[in-house]
Structure 1
Amino acid sequence: MSLVRKSPAKLNLLLNVLGRRPDGYHELETLLHPLAVYDTLHFERRASGIELSCTDPALPVDGRNLVCRAAERFFAEAGLRAGVRIHLEKRIPQGAGLGGGSGNAAVTLRALNEMFDRPLSEETLHRLAAGLGADVPFFLLDRPALGTGRGDCLEPLDWFPALRGCAFLVVHPGFGISTAWAYGQLARFPSLLHGRAGRAREVLQALQGADPGRAVAGFFNAFEGPAFEKFPVLELYCRYLCEQGALGARMTGSGSAVFAVVRDVAAGEAMLEALRSRFGRNVWTAVVGVAPC
């Protein structure tokens, strides 16, 4: 038996850090949104062992890869003596804040559960996903969500009326930002390390309305403080896209990708050409509609 599954990216429309928790993690509130940019995973059942191959030679294909770890935990939890061969076609850039690796892990859990006749419940899949990383459970939902706690306590949400018909323009500059580095730097930005609680609910209210500009004006990312300081080109991208007519532009996750919200796909493609003329073409970009993935 074999399966082929797409693995989407994500954007953080809002990422607000509220302080450090007693367990050493940080308390967050974040609005997560699927992004219709995909990796593709091919699964082939085998008698034993986990074998991973990837189109990106820079990615490890052993236990350091979340795909392998997800497969290992699935087989252990299900009590199965079986194996799988997985091939990953990589399109989502690494170290971008787009959740590529987390999405790959979630898709692996769900695909293996399907391939082996669903031995695990949805509750168990979510528990395994949370153990792999804070962003992984989100990719089991296929819709926007409000994340609290470490970001893994999820409230599924309907698609936002304010963004209907809009598009995302995403730019990855060609380098990554370590999440650990980003968190470590927040100590130098006390107002960002201890953000104002309630931002997410305020933005959610605006997203239920009909004015995309009002909603996007509330988007926020605490990690822009350290990231823009060290990598000023990211702030330049955001500023330029807004000058070109974007409704707003922010960084996603702990970086390094930034995204703009634009009126529609045609406007995004025109804006992308302007960006390339200004900054060159040697960066990863995508323009996709805001629509169910």
Structure 2
Amino acid sequence: MICFPNAKINIGLNITEKRSDGFHNLESVFYPVKWRDALEAIPAERLIFNTTGLDIPGKPENNLILKAFDLIKPFAKKESNVHIHLHKVIPMGAGLGGGSADGAFALKLFNELLECDLSILQLQQMAATLGSDCPFFIENKPVFCFDRGIKFKTIELDLTGYTIVCINPGIHISTAEAYGSIIPTKPKESVITLIEEPIEKWKGLIKNDFEEPLAKKYPLIDELVNSLYRKGAIYAAMTGSGSTVYGIFKEEPHLKNQFSEYAVWKGEL
């Protein structure tokens, strides 16, 4: 059985306050993007996990896919060992949620393969224990995200027909580094309100709180955003805590080899 965990972008990201538990409350719009990994699992006599594609740092046992398997195994109604293969394509630590997607899609895959019969709500609750972005990928549709990133409200946002270009310049930005430059502030207008404006008005209106301070430290981020605007993007921004930037276009842009030194993905939304 195979599935294709996809990336997501943040459209706007406001860090609104520091919580007493050490996390931050935030608000953002999450939108799925078709930049995908490939994840396969088949029944096996023992648990096997291997990967191809991009090199994944860290110990394999810390991978969210294996953590997802440990979470769902007690609910299995049939043989519960599997051979798992992940082909990694989505850049890691890039603000695209690729690792979170792998964990969430793994839950859905194991739920079906092992006949666990868990509901969407149960899978979302399980995913929340894996990481803040993970529950989003269970239903994998546009949402307004709030609280510490695990509460969602469905929104009527449809960007079908637009083209997106994502550029990952390979700058690794840790979560601690990203939050270290942020002073939490509640915005005058919530992104859930601003997103209702026509996309042509988003520039200068919908912002990512991480983008400006990180662009001062890594000017390439700002350079890439401006390059996308020069190419005709209606809206361009950094996603998540970076360093990936994206541009949304009415028509497919001709990039030639302009960004050939970076990881680039282009496709329809």
* Deviation of the 1:36 alpha carbon: 0.9
Task: Determine if contact 1:54/1:61 at 8 Å carries over to the other structure.
Answer: no
Residues 1:264 and 2:241 aligned together? no
1:238 and 2:207 aligned: no
Within 1, Cα distance between the matches of 2:179 and 2:78? 38
Q: Distance in 2 between matches of 1:104 and 1:37?
A: 12
Could you say which residue in structure 1 is the equivalent of 2:142?
A: 144
Offset, 1:76: 3.8
Q: Which runs of 5+ in 2 are unaligned?
A: none
The alpha-carbon distance between structure 1 residues 228 and 75, as it changes in their structure 2 partners (threshold 3 A), is: same
1:195 aligns with 2:191: no
Determine whether 1:169 maps to 2:169: no
> Over residues 230-249 of structure 1, what are the superposed CA-to-partner deviations in whole Å (9 max), with x where a residue is unaligned?
11001011112213321121
Superposition RMSD on alpha carbons, in Å? 2.0
Deviation of the 1:58 alpha carbon: 3.6
User: CA–CA distance in 2 between the matches of 1:214 and 1:98?
Assistant: 24
Identity across matched positions, percent = 30
SS in 1 for 2:195: helix
2:194 is aligned with what amino acid?
A: V
Gaps of 5+ in 1: none
CA deviation string 1:27-84 (max 9, x = no partner) = 1111000001110001111234353333333444622211111111111455877211
TM-score where L is the length of structure 2: 0.92
Distance 1:23 1:60, change over 3 A: closer
1:76-122: CA deviation from partner (whole Å, max 9, x where unpaired) = 45587721111111111111100100000011000000001133222
Q: Summarize deviations over 1:230-269 as a string: whole Å, max 9, x none.
A: 110010111122133211210000001000111122xx2x
- Is the CA contact 2:9–2:95 (under 8 Å) kept in the aligned structure 1? yes
Deviation, structure 1 residue 225:
2.6
Question: 2:2 matched to which residue of 1?
Answer: 4
Kindly indicate whether residue 236 of structure 2 is the aligned counterpart of residue 249 of structure 1: yes
CA–CA separation in structure 1 for the residues paired with 2:242 and 2:189:
23
The question of whether the paired residues in 1 share the 8 Å contact of 2:202 and 2:235 is answered with no
CA change 1:241–1:283 in 2 (3 A) is same
Alignment size in residue pairs: 269
User: Which stretches of structure 1, 4 residues or longer, exceed 4 Å deviation after superposition?
Assistant: 77-81
Greater share of helix: 1
Q: CA deviation at 1:224?
A: 0.8
Identify if the C-alpha distance between structure 1 residues 165 and 55 changes in structure 2 by more than 3 Å, giving closer, same or farther: closer
Query: 1:205: Cα distance to partner?
Result: 1.9
CA contact (8 A) 1:4 1:43 kept: yes
Q: 2:64 aligns with which of 63, 66, 73?
A: 66
Q: Does 1:226 align with 2:241?
A: no
Compute the displacement of 1:159 (Å).
3.7
Q: 1:15 to 1:51 in 2, by over 3 A?
A: same
Question: Residue 99 of structure 1 aligns to which amino acid in structure 2?
Answer: G
How far does residue 171 in structure 1 lie from its aligned partner after superposition? 0.5
Q: Tell me if structure 1 keeps the 8 A contact 2:76–2:114.
A: no
Read off the aligned partner of 1:176 and give its amino acid letter: H
Residue 100 (1) aligns with residue 79 (2): no
Which among 191, 196, 208 is matched to residue 205 of structure 1?
196
Write the letter of the residue equivalent to 2:193: E
